[in-house]
A and B are shown apart, each in its own frame.
Chain A
Amino acid sequence: MEELFGQFSLGLFIMQTVLFVGLIFLLKKFAWKPILDAVNEREDGIKNALLSAENARKEMANLQADNQRILNEARAERDGMLKEAREMKEKMIADAKNEATAAGEKMIAQAKAAIEGEKNAAMADLKAQVSSLSLEIAEKLLKEELSNKEAQVKLVEKMLGDAKMN
C-alpha cells in the first residue's frame, strides 16, 4: 500500500485531470456531437424511409382495391345499361306491335264500315233501280194487259186467287 501511494504523483494527477477534461470538452464539440447527431439523423432517416415505404405499400394496396372497386362498379353499370337497353328495345317492339295491330284493326274496321256503307248504298241503289225497273215493267205490262180485256180479267182473278190463299 505504501508502495502504491508512493507512486502517486500529484503533478501527473493534475495534468491528467486538466488534459482529460479538456479532451472531453474538445471531443464533445468536434467529435461526439457531430458523430451522434449524424448517426441519430441517419437512423431517423432510415426509420422514416421504412415507414414511408410501408405507407406507400399500403397506399398502393388501397389504390388497387379502389381500382378493382371502380372497375366492378363500371362493369355493373354497363350490365345495368345493357339490360335497360334490352328491356327498352323489347318494350318498343312490343309497343310498336300493339300499335300496329291496333291501327290495322282500326283500318280493317274502317274498311269494313266503308264496305258496309258502300254495300248498303249499292243495295239501296240497286233496290231503287229494281223498283223503278219493276215499276216500268209493271207499267208496261199493265199497259199491255189492260189493252186486252180478257187478260185483265185473268190477272185480277189470279191476284184474287193469291189473296184468298193468303
Chain B
Amino acid sequence: MVFSKKPLLFIIATLTACLSFSGFAHPVQDSVATAAAHPHEATAHAAAGAGHAEAPVLSEADQKEAERKEFIKHHLLDSHDFHLFSYGKDSGHETHVGFPLPVILWDNGLHVFMSSRFDHGHAVAESNGNYYMIGHHDGKIYKTDAAGTVTHDEKGHTTNEKPLDLSITKNVAMIVIVGLLMFLLFAGLGKSYKKNGSIAKGAGRFFEPLVLYVRDEIAIPNIGEKHYRKYMSFLLTIFFFVWFMNMFGLTPLGINVTGNIAITAALAILAYLITTFTAKKDYWTHIFWMPGVPVPMKIILAPIELLGTIIKPFSLMIRLYANMIAGHVVLMSLVALMYKADHALGSPLAFLLAFVLTILEVLVALLQAYIFTMLAALYFGSAVEEHHHEEAHH
C-alpha cells in the first residue's frame, strides 16, 4: 500500500499543500468580486424580502454569473433544508427537490418547527408568537417581525437579533448520518471478531488495516507504547469521521461539513482540551520553566510556549477548514467554468481539470484526515512525554 511509503506521502502532502495555496488565489479574487457585488445583492434581497418587487437590472450574462457565484457560496454554507437539486428556473416556476429538516431555536424558550415553513428562505416562519426568517447571505436564522423587516448596517450585514440555533441543519444531519454509518460499520467489525474466530469479515477487512494503521503508524510512534491506549478512541473516531465527511463532501449531494469553521473548531478544541487535561508535569514544566536554558530565556520562552499551545489547535482548525473549502471552491469554480466558457475547446478542458481535481480531492480527503489525526497524536504525545534527560541538567 501507499501508506508505508512515508517519503511518497510527504511529497504528495507538499504538492497538495502547494495546490491549496494556489487554490486560494481563486476564492480571494472571487470574494473581492462578490464583495463588490454585495451591495447590489443586499438591496436586491431587501427588496425581495419586502415582497418580491422587481428583478435587479443586470444583463443576462452578468445575472448568470452572479447566480453561479451565489450557488457556490451557498453550497459552502450550512443550510436548514436538505436541498438536492432544483429545476424549471427558466420556465419561471422553479421546483426544489429535497426535504426539510427540523429547526430548533432557543429564544427565551424552545421553538421547534420544520424548515419547510421558511419556504426555501422566501417566507417568514412563526413559532409561539415569534417570527423568524433566513438571512440570504449566510443562511442563518434571524429574528424578525410578521412583515419580515430586515435591518442592515453600513456594510450590508444583517443586524437583526440571532437566536441560538440548535437546528438539525444539513451539517448536523450529515454528522448524525456519518455517526450512524461509523457506528454500524465499526460495531459490526467489533462483533465480527467474536463470531468469526478473531478474523474480520466483510467491509471490516478493508477497515481493519486502517484501524491498525492509525494505531501502529500514528498513535504508537507519536504518543508512545505506554500511553497511547487512552487516546485511541479519539484518534480513531476523528480519523474516520474526518475522512468520511471529506468523502461525503465529494458526492454531488452538496455537503460541506469539514469545510465549516464551526466543525473544525469543535474538533480542534476537543484535541486541545484532551492535550491540556491529560498533560503530565513535564509538559507544563517545558511551557512555564523550560529546563536547560538561562533564567531570562525561561521568562521569555514561557509566553511563547503558552501561545504555542493555542496556536497548535488553531492551525489544526484552519488547516482542515481551508483545505476542504479550497477544494470545494476550486472544484465548483471549474464546474462553473464549463458553463461560462461555453466553448467547444474550453468546456471540455474545464471538465478535464475538474475531473483531475476530483481525483486529487479523493486523495486530499484521506490526507487531511491523516494529517489531522497525526498532528493531534503529536500534541498528545508532547503532553505525556517524559523527559529523562532533565536529571542531567540539575
Contacts and interface: CB of A to CB of B under 8 A. Distances in A.
A40 to B, nearest CB: 9
A32 B231 CA distance: 11
Contact of B176 (A19, A21, A24): A19
Contacts of A13: 262-263, 265-266
B269 A17 contact: yes
B365 interface: no
Contact of B186 (A12, A15, A27): A27
B385 interface: no
B32 to A, nearest CB: 11
B224 interface: no
Contacts of B265: 8, 13
Interface residues of B, number: 46
A19 B138 contact: no
A26 B267 CA distance: 17
B236 A27 contact: yes
Nearest to B104: A11
B336 interface: no
Interface stretch (B58-66, B113-121, B166-174): B166-174
A42 B232 CA distance: 18
A35 B236 CA distance: 11
B275 to A, nearest CB: 15
Contacts of B194: 34, 38
Contacts of B189: 31, 35
B183 A26 contact: yes
Nearest to B188: A31
The secondary-structure label for the interface of chain B is helix
A38 B193 contact: yes
A81 to B, nearest CB: 57
B86 interface: no
B208 A11 contact: no
Nearest to B169: A12
Contacts of B241: 20, 23
A14 B237 CA distance: 18
Query: Most B CB atoms within 10 A — which of A12, A15, A27?
Result: A12
Contacts of B237: 20, 23-24, 27-28, 32
A31 B78 contact: no
Interface string A29-61: 011111110110110010000000000000000
A64 B167 CA distance: 76
B179 interface: yes
A35 B270 CA distance: 23
Interface in B210-258: 211-212, 215, 232-234, 236-237, 241
Contacts of A22: 179
Contacts of A17: 266, 269-270
A162 interface: no
A25 B237 CA distance: 9
B198 A20 contact: no
B127 to A, nearest CB: 16
Contacts of B183: 23, 26-27, 30-31
Nearest to A3: B31
Contacts of B13: none
A35 B266 contact: no
A165 interface: no
B302 interface: no
B190 A34 contact: yes
B311 interface: no
B158 to A, nearest CB: 10
A32 B138 contact: no
Contacts of B140: 9
A29 B318 CA distance: 31
Contacts of A4: 261
Contact of A35 (B176, B186, B267): B186
B390 to A, nearest CB: 33
A66 to B, nearest CB: 37
B243 to A, nearest CB: 14
Query: Most A CB atoms within 10 A — which of B77, B157, B241, B266?
Result: B266
Contacts of B261: 4-5, 7-8
A6 interface: yes
A21 B171 CA distance: 16
A47 to B, nearest CB: 13
19 contacts: A3-B31, A4-B261, A11-B164, A11-B165, A12-B171, A12-B262, A13-B263, A13-B265, A16-B175, A23-B182, A27-B187, A27-B237, A30-B183, A30-B186, A30-B187, A31-B187, A32-B237, A35-B208, A45-B198
Q: Which 9 A-B pairs have the closest CB atoms?
A: A34-B190, A31-B186, A38-B193, A11-B165, A28-B233, A16-B266, A13-B262, A12-B262, A30-B187
